[in-house]
């Protein structure tokens, strides 16, 4: 398949994605360009999936590269809640906390200096 035919094929695929996505309830198309197709699937108010698809160089002979990311958002503040398998070790949590405290102290010093 020539490069021009591949581009036409990918463009036709993208047109189908753009046409079909609004018909599916709970799905929002974020980006649909030849480099990446990204859509957000809202399962509930706080649960969502993000699907990313990339067209490989030899598409359609090679399969699409697909990645799913899941996440939950806290209903009170909207921040993402991470899954247990990505737990942070106590040492790393302490290091992050110490860094955050040091940064806050530096900002407080700058504010005091400017006053």
Q: Give the whole-angstrom CA distance, residue 60 versus residue 33.
A: 16
Note the pLDDT of residue 109. Answer: 93
Q: pLDDT tens digit string along 2-16?
A: 777 777 877 888 888
Contact 101/109 with Cβ under 8 angstroms? no
Cis peptide before 60 (omega within 30 of 0): yes
Q: What value does the mean pLDDT of the chain take? A: 77
- Domains of the chain by residue range: 3-81, 83-115
pLDDT digits (tens, 9 = 90+) for 74-91: 666 666 665 555 566 778
For 36-84, the pLDDT digits (tens) are 778 877 777 767 777 788 877 777 777 777 777 776 666 666 666 655 5
- 96-102 mean pLDDT: 91
- Helix boundaries (H) for 21-115: 90-114
pLDDT of residue 19: 82
SS3 62: coil
């Amino acid at each position: 398949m020539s490069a021009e035919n591949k581009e036409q094929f990918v463009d036709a695929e993208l047109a189908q994605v753009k046409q079909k996505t609004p018909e599916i309830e709970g799905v929002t198309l974020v980006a649909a360009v030849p480099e990446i197709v990204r859509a957000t699937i809202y399962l509930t108010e706080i649960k969502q999936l993000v699907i990313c698809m990339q067209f490989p160089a030899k598409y359609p002979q090679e399969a699409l590269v697909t990645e799913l990311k899941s996440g939950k958002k806290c209903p009170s503040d909207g921040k993402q809640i991470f899954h247990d398998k990505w737990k942070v070790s106590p040492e790393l949590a302490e290091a992050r906390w110490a860094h955050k405290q040091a940064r806050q102290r530096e900002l407080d010093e700058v504010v005091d200096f400017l006053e």
